[in-house]
Amino acid sequence: MRLVLKMLLFRVLNYLAALMLTAMLLAGITVIAAWEYLESDLPETDVLRDIRLQVPLRVYSSAGDLIAEYGTKRREPVEYEEVPKPVEQAVLAAEDANFFRHPGVDYRGLARAVVSLVKTGQRKQGGSTITMQLARNFFLSPEKTYIRKAREIMLAMRMEQQFSKREILTLYLNQIYLGNRAYGIRAAAHTYYNKELEELTLAETAMIAGLPKAPSAFNPLVNPQRAVERRNYVLDRMAINGFISEQ
């Protein structure tokens, strides 16, 4: 009797193992097919090498003074070498502290977002790296779907293969919307503080770095209280990541 039960159990286990193996194989084939399908429809990211960021038309006097500025966007592009270290660190602390260490996708951040989805049943913002944000802003629509998120991840990984980290970060710092028609960090410094980037205090730097998440909600001109809360969060993140001391 025991022998019969052992043989029966052995067959059941073999059947379950074969079933699991088949399911894993089918899942793998499905993922590969879906990846190939989505990848075939992705835009070419190397066009970013020739991107021309829209800047306003500026009219100057013969003495070199700015008389007028025309355009819906305030943008003053900077080179990577022109970005003060505290500005770079504040943005990384606020948006993507592991930027220089991940391949375009922060798998831990994505895992946390998935766990949150399972627990709450709601999709929350998070898990998007700077590269993923750049891919979304340049190539994708703002709709929140799983297909768009998959395309965002694939574009980010492709961009990381074609561009250096410095190139990606520079594009992001020049392209990101920071409220009050300001696009890019230099335009934001002029808009909010009438200062050059290197003249910003640490608090002012953290204020600007906190804007990408919600430029309207954290706008210091519109909602100073929430802006200060966001600024303090960025300062805390800078301390946690070793960019500044607790003092």
pLDDT digits (tens, 9 = 90+) for 34-43: 555 556 566 7
Q: How confident is the model at residue 48 (pLDDT cuts 50, 70, 90)?
A: confident
pTM score, whole prediction: 0.76
Q: What is the pLDDT of residue 167?
A: 95
If you count DSSP H runs as helices and E runs as strands, how many of each does the chain have, helices first? Answer: 9, 4
Among residues 243, 73, 242, 39, the alpha carbon closest in space to that of 151 is found at: 39
Residue 2 has a pLDDT of 66
Are the C-beta atoms of residues 51 and 44 closer than 8 Å to each other? Answer: no
Summarised one tens digit per residue, pLDDT across range 77-126 is 999 999 999 999 999 999 999 999 999 998 887 777 667 666 665 555 55
Pairing of strands 74-75, 182-183: parallel
* 169 and 88 Cβ atoms separated by less than 8 Å: yes
Residue 198 confidence (pLDDT): 97
Contact 132, 157 (CB under 8 A): no
CATH number of 46-240: 1.10.3810.10
Per-residue model confidence (pLDDT) at position 59 = 46
pLDDT at 136: 92
pLDDT, residue 144, reads 77
pLDDT-derived band at 141 (thresholds 50, 70, 90) equals: confident
- So what's the pLDDT on residue 208? 97
Q: Is residue 51 helix, strand or coil?
A: coil
In the prediction, which pLDDT does 67 show?
Answer: 47
* Residue 20 confidence (pLDDT): 76
DSSP code per residue over 69-136: EESS-EE----GGGS-HHHHHHHHHHH-TTTTTSSS--HHHHHHHHHHHHHHS---S----HHHHHHH
Average pLDDT over residues 207-236: 95
Most confidently modeled of 7-16, 55-64, 88-97, 150-159? Answer: 88-97
